[in-house]
């Protein structure tokens, strides 16, 4: 949270947002003023032209949307505030442009596009859901890129995995259970990380699977081991449905 004896320039953005949400109007006004260039840029990207903060209604829409994003932002949902606010601002400006295009005469923001329309809770939910999906896709993409790098260290690739993954459910479940054992057993875990391969002979003694079967599913087992051993929130979720 913002501390009164701490300069604003040294205060984390999320701390200032929390203070604004708790009623600190000084911080709220500071953020609205400080981020006007950011807001104007977001609005300009939608309108495809220079936006004058003093005269363009679209900027007023963007400013109100930024304030709305600031008051509804929840860091626990993941993602940065600026990414979230940019989405909210653009969505509101697009809605405003659609609104005035449907109106026969040119209207200003104060004429008909009132504050109640700007704060439609259904729209806020829709934006939050859109933002959540966008962040999910982004994080999943980052996990896959990291996973591909780890596979390369083990001399594996995604294209190989599509070819060697067990076709039958029972075989996949068995391979996953072997991968879990490799991951959970400290000695096996260390061996795999150091050698980048499985201790087939010793492993066959510990599991009810033949050495031949282990060798056939080696690449798939190692890939699952990599997922289990990494910081892969989304890949581990997908892993639950692999069996």
pTM comes to: 0.49
pLDDT at position 115 is: 45
Residue of 146, 143, 160 whose CA lies nearest to 222? 160
Local confidence band at 64 (pLDDT 50, 70, 90 cut-offs): very high
* Mean per-residue pLDDT, 28-36: 92
Percent of the chain with pLDDT over 70: 79
Between 129-133, 145-149, 192-196, the lowest mean confidence (pLDDT) is in: 129-133
pLDDT at position 118 is: 46
Q: Is pLDDT of 1 > 50?
A: no
* Mean per-residue pLDDT, 194-212: 89
Each residue of 72-102: pLDDT tens digit?
888 777 668 888 898 889 888 888 888 777 7
Contacts of 15 (CB under 8 A, 6+ apart): 1, 2
Contacts of 191 (CB under 8 A, 6+ apart): 199
Residue of 97, 98, 80 whose CA lies nearest to 38? 80
Local confidence band at 32 (pLDDT 50, 70, 90 cut-offs): very high
* Mean per-residue pLDDT, 9-29: 87
pLDDT at position 124 is: 57
Q: How many residues does the chain have?
A: 243
Please, what is the average pLDDT of the chain? Answer: 82
Q: Which of 10-24, 97-111, 124-138, 209-223 has the highest mean pLDDT?
A: 209-223
Rounded to a whole number, what is the distance in angstroms from the first to the last CA of the chain? 45
Each residue of 93-144: pLDDT tens digit?
888 888 777 765 544 554 554 444 445 556 556 666 665 666 667 677 778 8
Helices (H), the chain: 13-21, 25-34, 36-47, 57-72, 81-102, 115-118, 121-153, 158-164, 169-184, 186-195, 200-206, 211-216, 218-229, 233-239
Between 5-9, 48-52, 181-185, the lowest mean confidence (pLDDT) is in: 5-9
Local confidence band at 209 (pLDDT 50, 70, 90 cut-offs): confident
């Amino acid at each position: 949270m913002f501390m009164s004896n701490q300069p604003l320039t040294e205060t984390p953005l999320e701390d200032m947002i929390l203070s604004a949400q708790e009623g600190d109007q000084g911080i709220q006004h500071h953020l609205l003023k400080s981020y006007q260039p950011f807001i104007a840029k977001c609005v300009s990207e939608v309108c495809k032209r220079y936006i004058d903060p003093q005269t363009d209604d679209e900027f007023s829409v963007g400013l109100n949307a930024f304030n709305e994003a600031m008051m509804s932002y929840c860091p626990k949902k993941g993602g940065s505030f600026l990414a979230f606010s940019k989405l909210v601002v653009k969505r509101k400006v697009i809605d405003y442009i659609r609104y005035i295009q449907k109106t026969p005469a040119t209207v200003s923001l104060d004429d008909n596009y009132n504050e109640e329309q700007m704060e439609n809770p259904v729209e806020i939910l829709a934006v939050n859901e859109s933002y959540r999906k966008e962040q999910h896709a982004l994080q999943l993409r980052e996990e896959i890129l990291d996973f591909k790098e780890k596979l390369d260290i083990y001399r594996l690739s995604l294209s190989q995995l599509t070819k060697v993954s067990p076709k039958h459910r029972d075989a996949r479940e068995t391979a996953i259970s072997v991968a879990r054992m490799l991951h959970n057993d400290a000695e096996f875990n260390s061996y795999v990380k150091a050698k980048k391969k499985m201790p087939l002979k010793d492993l066959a003694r510990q599991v009810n699977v033949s050495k031949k079967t282990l060798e056939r599913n080696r690449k798939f087992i190692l890939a699952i081991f990599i997922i289990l051993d990494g910081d892969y929130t989304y890949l581990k979720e997908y892993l639950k449905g692999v069996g």
